[in-house]
Every structure is written in C-alpha cells, then in structure tokens.
Structure 1
Amino acid sequence: MDELKARLIGQAAEVGFAACRICRPGDVPEAAARLAAFLEAGHHGQMGWMAERTHWRGNPAALWPEARSVIMLAENYGPEHDPRAVLAERDRAAISVYAQNRDYHDVVKKKLKRLGRWLIDAAARDAGPGAGAPEIKVFVDTAPVMEKPLGQAAGLGWQGKHTNLVSRELGSWFFLGAIFTTLELPVDRAERDHCGSCRACLDACPTAAFPAPYRLDARRCISYLTIEHHGPVDEELRGLLGNRIYGCDDCLAACPWNKFAERASEVKYHAREDLLSPPLAELAALDDAGFRERFSGSPIKRIGRDRFVRNVLYAIGNSGQAELRAVAQRLCEDADETVRDAARWAVARLGGL
C-alpha cells in the first residue's frame, strides 16, 4: 500500500490539490466532547443542523463503519491581494475571498470524484482479476463530517486559535475535502500546534467572537452573522460589521503563517473584478432576479436576495456616506420585513450627516 499511497499523492497534485494526507476515521477521539461543549454553550446560534446527527459528526468511524482510511485534501484558494484593504473603502462592499468567484463546493467535489475514481481503478488493477474494487465516499463541507479535526489528524495542519486549520506550507487559505475509503492506506503523522504565544487572529476579530483561544462563539462571528443568521442582527453588532457583507477574512488574514501562502492556481478561485470591491449602492439596488443573475454559480447565491440586501444596508449604515442615505431610504418599504428594518436603521445612522 505504500506504493499506492505514493501514486495517490502524485495524482492528487495532478488533479490540482495542494496537499494530500491520510488518517483513520477513529483518529479524532476528542471531537465528540468538543462538539458537545460547543453545542451546550449555544455557540452554534441558529445553525440547528450542527446539533443533528451528532453521533456521526462527533465520530467519523460511525458515519461509515466500513471505512478504513480518510484521505484529506487541501485546496488552495490564496488571494493575490490583501483582503483587508477594502475595509477602508466605506462606500464599497467587502466580500470574503473564498466567495469572490465560483462556489468551492462544486469545484472541490468534482476534483474529489476524479481522484476517487482514479483510486478505485488503481487499487483494482493492483489487486488483479477477480478482486473486489474498494469503495469510496467523498465529502466537502455538506455532510456531518468534522473536516478540521480530521485534517489535523492527517497532518494537513493544526486548528489555530481562530479554530480554522493552519498549514506551515499554505497558511490559512485552503479548503478541505475528504475521501473515505474501505482501503487501509498508510497513515500520516498528526500535525502539532505551532501557534505559540501569538494571538494575532484573536486580536483581529472586530466582534470579539473568541471567548478564549481555540473557542469560537459563532453568534458573534461576522461570517455567521452575514451568512447563516436569519432575521435582524442585534443592533449591538451591526455597527461592528463595517462594510463586510458576506463573510469575514480578518482572523485568517492576520495569521503570520500566511507569509508562506501562494495565490490559488485554480482560476475558478481568482477574484471576479465585479466582486473585489463592488459599490454598495449598486448591490442595494438588486431585486431577486438581478441578485440571482449576478451571483449565479457563486456561494453567495444561497443566502438569497433579502438576507444579502440586509447585509448591504448594514454596510451602508456604517459607511458614513451621506449620499447613501437616499439608497437606504428607497428600501424602507421593501417587501421583506428584515430588509425594511435594516433600511430604517441605515437611514437613522446616516440621518445626522
């Protein structure tokens, strides 16, 4: 199996993955307790799906008992620009790096399936005629799989103080994909923590979403608030969103390990010109059809026009730009109640200018 693993790593690179490592499904024994503590504290907010199927989420071995190995893949999406630069452009929108082009779920899943098919064929050829082919299942962020603990167990990186995976080779800018297989492949050594005394990611968070190092309260996280949270955002937090309308890169961008990061080789992750720093006024004018057309194929599309425009209005309220007051005023009678609330808040914020 050592020779097959070496060929697998080479094929993963050919498919386009930045790194490939392997662990066992049972190599994350601490995951269940950590998940339980996160849920018990209510830190998942409205993400009720995290409390479902916890027997699988906390124990990958239970998800598919026949699996013997988990192949963890890293997909680099490193930006060529500083994602924090747009935060100073108050009349423009800040969109998280990962959402500035195609939906990574689609891109990564295609690569996982391609690599998985190769593995099945290669293992079958090695086994010879009459031998049964191995089975695989591929996962990318849409199943009850805790990819980050598995990524650390496989040696791709370690979960930093911001709870995301950090790599000494890739920094913070990479997606995770997993291939579960019935093949028993040689495993890699788990990565250890290299954060040391650094707390750059914690100090960079605009909303103080980390109650302690290695602990995230999603209810205060801008990525959660702009993507997962339904309805109005607490007024205490609206002013802290700045012009971030979809996700937040602050804690990732602050990590010193990004000095080793490189720009994504996959062109589908290169930022679209119209999503680098789009004007807030332009985005606020989108109706449902316009929203769907502009964000076709983008992960942004899944939150829908109303939640998106809600976020844009919070950014307008935070802009300090008097000329944007009229933009918000036009949405004060929008069909959606949350959009109306956000518009009136923005108008009030800009009223004294």
Structure 2
Amino acid sequence: MTAPAINYQDLTEKIKLWGRELGFSQVGISDVNLVDHEPALARWLANNYHGNMDYMARHGLMRARAKELVEGTLNVISVRMDYLPTDAKFARTLKNRQHAYISRYALGRDYHKLMRKRLKQLGERIKQHCQNFNYRPFVDSAPILERPLAEKAGLGWVGKHSLLINKQAGSWFFLGELLVDIPLVVDKKVENACGSCVACIKICPTQAIVEPYVVDARRCISYLTIELREAIPEQFRPLIGNRIYGCDDCQLICPWNKFAKLGSEDDFKPRQQLDDISLLTLFAWDEASFLRKTQGSPIRRIGFQCWQRNIAVALGNADFSATIVTALLEKLPASEPMVAEHIEWALAQQRLKQQALADDKNLRLTARLIRSVEKGMPRDA
C-alpha cells in the first residue's frame, strides 16, 4: 500500500501550533533563496567588519546558501523565543558605575541548548507525520544568515542595527532554525518599518553601526567583550563604561521595543544576582568560582581571563574609590599579562579621577577663600 499524500498546507499549520506548544513565541517558514544578500555579505567580509571572527570568512557565501550546508534542504522553519526579564533594571544598572551591566540575554541559562532541544522535539514531531523526512536544528551553530531567513519567514524585519525587529514584540528574543527537506507553505516577508529613525545609530557608544544595516564588529562592545580574546583597544575602553558582557543600547533606544514581550521561560531569569551586582563582587571571583557560578550560562564561553579583563576596564571607568584601587593592586601581581595590562590601565584611570577630585576640591577651597577675603574688603577698595 502506498502512503497517503501529505497535505502540506495542513502540516504547515500544525507545525506552527506544535512550535507554540513547545514554547516558541512565533514560528515562520521561508524558502532558502538568499541570493539578494550575497553582495552585502561579500562587502562586509571584504571590509574586515567581522574582526577576529575567522569562521565568518571561512564559510564565505555559504552563509547565504542553506542548500550547500544541508543537502536536500527545501525550506527553513524559523522560530523566535522571547527572553526579556520582568524587571530588567536597564537604566538603574547602567547609571550605577560601580555595578556591572551584563547584556540581558545572558543573565540566565544559555539559550542555545534549550532552543536546540525544543527544535529537535519539533523535528521529531514532524517526522511522525512524514514517511521520508530529514531535518537539522541550528541555534547560532551553523554558517547561515538567520536574520534574513527569519525576515523572509515573517518573524520581523532586519533593523538598522542589524537585529530582527517584530512590530508586536520588539527585538528582545532569540532565533533558531530547523532546516527541512519537505515543501511547506512559506510565509510573507514583513515590511521594514524603521522609516527615517536612526536612534540606534546615534546611541551606539562606539559608533559601531557605520551605516544603516551595517555593523563593524571591531567597534561593537558585544564583540569587544565577548568575541575578542585579545586586549581591548584603548580607544574603546572608556566608551565601554560598566558593560562587562555585551551591550543592549541599540535595543534600549529602539521605539519598537515599547511593544516588547516578557519572556516566559524560567531558565532565562537572572542567576547569581547578575542583574544587580557590584563590579568588585565579580572581580573577587577566582577561576574556580567563575566556572562554578557561570555553569550553564553563556558567559562561561569567554573564559576567566576575558572576564577579568572586562571587569578591570569597567573598574577603570567607575568613579574613584580607594577600595577599587586596592582590589586592582591586589589582583595585579598574579594576573596574566593581558589582564595585567587592563588592570594597569584601570589604575591609571582611577588615579586621574583621584587627581581630578583633589583639583576640584582645591578649586572650591580657593574660591571659598577669595569670597571670604572679598567680604572683608572695604567697599571702595
């Protein structure tokens, strides 16, 4: 007996329902044709905007060719999962220079494993309805242009900061993909609604958005604090502020994020009080503490040395504090050369601030003395 023909329209609707049951906020489907994105990708790589992320150049234009990545791929199922915490403490943390700011996506459990597991479950559910079916789940684990694919799948549009924006949900969400070899019904691409707004370009502390839709990773704080494994260029250190892991500024300023949806996954809730913790508390961690406290967190991937490097920069940017100077001096002798360089820079910044405070105090004392003398002088003097 031959298997009954598959109603792919009906299956497409079921896939979206199953995806929502698995906790995905939205599910969309696209074809694999990204040929229109190849020239921009080639220019981005030619300009070395990928920095030290060699894997970006290694795969080249394959990132726009999903069929070359997984033979037989006909469609891509793109999913989004919201992660915004209930009390994100954005402004409060960024304004408190003595506290650490960590990109809000990294406060809880690493999303890669969670989403990949859910995508695999979705693939297995589809397999129960198809006699011949192959799939591959990806969450930042394949050389594919996930945002253009998600855009084609109707999940949102790529904003001028290069992130995906959804008109009803902002941009605080993760993306994942399931490459499949069945002919599903594709969704319509969403119209770009950025208009003339350039708020994300203007707000970027390091001016990393060099033109609309183009980010020079070498200037981006997320790249500098997460991807870069070497010394952070001195020109960017003062601009990093207290951001020790990633940066959310371009999302914070985006007007569409007034519609952002709160995440519903408990695993994405802040751990280890990372949403409200002092720089000195984190700087006091030894390597064993770092590994233990970041278990299951995306932060662990940068390693202890880069963690200390980032915190040292933030301490240099903090208001002058004798306690900070003491902590930096105590760490310096046993630090690796790269970390030591950043500690020495931080110490120099703290000393400059200490001197500025002393100068300001002297100026105020001098001004007070002059006013006192002037009060005692005869009126016709």
Same fold (TM over 0.5): yes
Deviations 1:219-274 (A, max 9, x none): 11000000001111111100000000000011011111111112101111122251
1:337 corresponding residue in structure 2: 337
The CA distance in 2 between the partners of 1:52 and 1:155, in whole Å, is 29
For 1:283-298, list aligned pairs within 5 A: 283-298=282-297
1:20-31 map, 5 Å: 20-26=27-33, 28-31=34-37
Out of 38, 57, 68, the position equivalent to 1:62 is 68
Q: What per-residue deviation string (whole Å, max 9, x for no partner) do you get for residues 46-91 of structure 1?
A: 1111001224212122212301111000111123224243111111
Q: Distance in 2 between matches of 1:110 and 1:201?
A: 33
CA contact (8 A) 1:202 1:213 kept: yes
2:370 is aligned to none
Alignment root-mean-square deviation, CA? 1.2
DSSP 3-state at the match of 1:227: helix
Equivalent residue for 1:46? 52
1:77 to 68, 73, 83: 83
Q: How do 1:75-224 residues align onto structure 2 when only pairs under 5 Å count?
A: 75-80=81-86, 81-121=88-128, 123-124=129-130, 132-224=131-223
* Unaligned runs of at least 5 residues, structure 2: 1-7, 355-381
Separation in 2, partners of 1:173, 1:201: 15
1:180 partner SS:
strand
**Kept in 2: contact 1:55–1:62 (CA 8 A):** no
* Aligned counterparts of 2:205 and 2:52: Cα–Cα separation in 1: 21
> Deviation string for 1:286-318 (max 9, x for gaps)?
221111011000000010000001000000000
Structure number with greater Rg is 2
Residue by residue over 1:184-234, the C-alpha shift from the partner in whole angstroms, topping out at 9 and shown as x without a partner, is: 000001112100011111111111111111110001100000000111111
How far, CA to CA, are the matches of 2:45 and 2:149 in structure 1? 19
Any residues of structure 2 matched to 1:225-304 within 5 Å, and which? Answer: 225-272=224-271, 274-304=273-303
Q: 80-89 or 215-224, which moves further after superposition?
A: 80-89
User: Secondary structure in 2 aligned to 1:193?
Assistant: coil
Counterpart CA distance in 2 for 1:321 and 1:110 is: 46
Partner of 1:324: 324
Determine if contact 1:31/1:59 at 8 Å carries over to the other structure: no
SS at match of 1:35: helix
Aligned partner of 1:3 in structure 2 is 10
Measure, in 2, the Cα distance between the counterparts of 1:334 and 1:299.
Answer: 26
User: Are 2:42 and 2:61, in contact at CA under 8 Å, matched by a contact in 1?
Assistant: no
8 Å CA contact 1:95, 1:275 repeated in 2: yes
Equivalent residues of 1:84, 1:250 under 8 A apart: no
* TM-score of the pair, normalised by structure 1: 0.95
1:33 aligns with 2:32: no
- Give the Cα separation in 1 of the matches to 2:333 and 2:315: 16
Equivalent residue letter for 1:281: L
Aligned to 1:349: 349
Equivalent position SS for 1:72: strand
Quickly say closer, same or farther: Cα 1:66–1:22, change in 2 above 3 A.
same
Could you list the runs of 5+ residues in structure 1 that have no partner in the other structure? Answer: 125-131
How many correspondences in the alignment? 344
* Contact 2:101-2:242 within 8 A present in 1 as well: yes
Matching residue's letter, 1:351: R
Q: State which drifts further: 156-165 or 29-38.
A: 29-38
TM-score norm. by structure 2 comes to: 0.88
Q: Is the 8 A contact 1:32 1:58 kept in 2?
A: yes
Match of 2:19 among 8, 12, 37: 12
Identity %: 38
> How far apart, in 2, do the equivalents of 1:250 and 1:335 lie?
31
State how far apart, in whole Å, the 1-side matches of 2:91 and 2:139 are: 27
Deviations 1:138-163 (A, max 9, x none): 11101111101101111111110000
